[in-house]
């Protein structure tokens, strides 16, 4: 279950808002889990998204759809840099293996702050998932990323980033999970690969249209 | 000889964009794509290129068509960025 929540964090962080009428498709793969997201920016500050996660948790296969809005609250544009503050709001639910609706219809509330130049990237994301039956003990998650580009590529060249990712979930045992990643950018496609220090692999692909 | 030189001068002049826009906030390939797509969809635009190093959008207009500064501001804003400055190349007939 911890992997599920961390997956949702990853997806919702991926690229909250692109450009007006832009579409982003994202796919993430971790052990026993596959996620896809479709994200459409309806206004320069707002995107609507739908996410679908399929997870094998041993004896049960979970299907976890959700819909959410990603809102750009504030952006700071400078020559050669950009900083953003986002809010994510939505609703998700469990569909159990037999097709029935599970008892976990939950809200999705998140914030993301990031700063980027052509050579440096850093982002912090935090989420909570309130349900009607568990308002007193809300689970929360947090992720921090820092990346460096060893060189700056033009649009028609391959851009590589070295990224470090730290994740923490309320209720998770042990220290936060650290995953070193390599991120590749080519024109309108991004993909990332990595393995955490405890052996959890990560593969993500994203395309913008 | 003179018509030949005039032709060469016109050809060289054609390489210069009609409008150059310096953009704030452009930092990655996705940024470039958003600007190319937004400007490329404009009916008066013949060609657009984006230079990430210089934060520069270069626009070539179709013959007899124009693109106002206000419209450029809107296109850049819709892409998620801000205009720093707009530079226009005088038409060849003005030289």
Domains within chain B, CATH numbers bracketed: 16-90 (3.30.70.100)
Mind listing the pLDDT tens digit for each residue in A12-57?
Answer: 555 788 888 899 999 999 888 898 999 999 998 999 999 888 888 7
Chain B contact probe: residue of A14, A20, A85 with most B CBs at under 10 A: A20
What average pLDDT score do residues A179-208 get?
Answer: 92
d(CA A26, CA A35): 8
Q: For a pLDDT cut of 70, what percent of chain B falls above it?
A: 81
Mind listing the pLDDT tens digit for each residue in A110-125?
Answer: 999 999 999 999 999 9
- Tokens describing residue A175: 């220290």
Contact indicator for A130, A170 with CB cutoff of 8 Å: no
Taking the Cβ of residue A40 and every Cβ of chain B, the question of whether any pair is shorter than 8 Å is answered with: no
Mind listing the pLDDT tens digit for each residue in B39-90?
Answer: 999 999 999 999 888 999 999 999 989 999 999 999 999 899 999 999 998 8
pTM for this entry: 0.84
Name the closest residue on chain A to residue B32, using Cα atoms: A155
d(CA A146, CA A152): 16
Chain B CB contacts of A153 below 8 Å? 29
Task: Spell out a b/e string for B39-74, using b for 16 or more CB atoms within 10 Å of the CB, else e.
Answer: beebeebeebebebeebbbbbbbeeeeebeeeebeb
Chain A contact probe: residue of B29, B41, B48, B58 with most A CBs at under 10 A: B29
Taking the Cβ of residue B61 and every Cβ of chain A, the question of whether any pair is shorter than 8 Å is answered with: no
Sign of CA dihedral A88, A94, A100, A101: negative
Domains within chain A, CATH numbers bracketed: 2-208 (2.40.160.40)
Q: What is the ipTM of this complex?
A: 0.79
């Amino acid at each position: 279950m911890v992997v599920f929540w961390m997956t949702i964090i990853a997806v919702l962080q991926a690229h909250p808002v692109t450009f007006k009428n832009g579409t982003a498709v994202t796919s993430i793969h971790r052990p026993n889990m596959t996620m896809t997201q479709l994200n459409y920016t309806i206004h320069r500050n707002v995107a609507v998204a739908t996410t679908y996660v399929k997870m094998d948790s041993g004896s049960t296969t979970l299907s976890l759809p959700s819909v959410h809005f990603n809102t750009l609250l504030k952006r700071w544009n400078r020559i050669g840099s950009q900083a953003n503050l986002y809010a994510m709001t939505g609703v998700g639910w469990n569909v159990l293996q037999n097709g029935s609706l599970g008892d976990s219809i939950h809200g999705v509330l998140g914030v993301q702050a990031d700063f980027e130049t052509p050579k440096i990237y850093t982002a912090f994301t935090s989420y909570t998932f309130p349900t009607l039956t568990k308002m007193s003990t809300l689970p929360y998650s947090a992720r921090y990323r820092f990346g460096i580009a060893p060189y700056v590529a033009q649009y028609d060249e391959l851009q590589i980033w070295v990224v470090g990712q730290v994740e923490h979930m309320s209720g998770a045992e042990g220290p936060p999970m650290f995953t070193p990643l390599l991120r590749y950018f080519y024109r309108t496609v991004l993909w990332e690969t990595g393995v955490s220090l405890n052996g959890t692999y990560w593969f993500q692909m994203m395309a913008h249209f | 000889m003179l018509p030949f030189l005039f032709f060469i001068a016109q050809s060289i002049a054609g390489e210069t964009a009609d409008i150059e826009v310096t953009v704030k906030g452009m930092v990655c390939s996705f940024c470039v794509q958003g600007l190319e797509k937004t400007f490329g969809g404009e009916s008066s635009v013949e060609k657009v290129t984006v230079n990430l190093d210089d934060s520069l959008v270069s626009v070539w207009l179709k013959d007899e068509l124009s693109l106002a500064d206000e419209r450029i501001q809107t296109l850049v804003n819709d892409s998620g960025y801000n205009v720093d400055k707009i530079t226009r190349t005088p038409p060849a007939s003005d030289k």
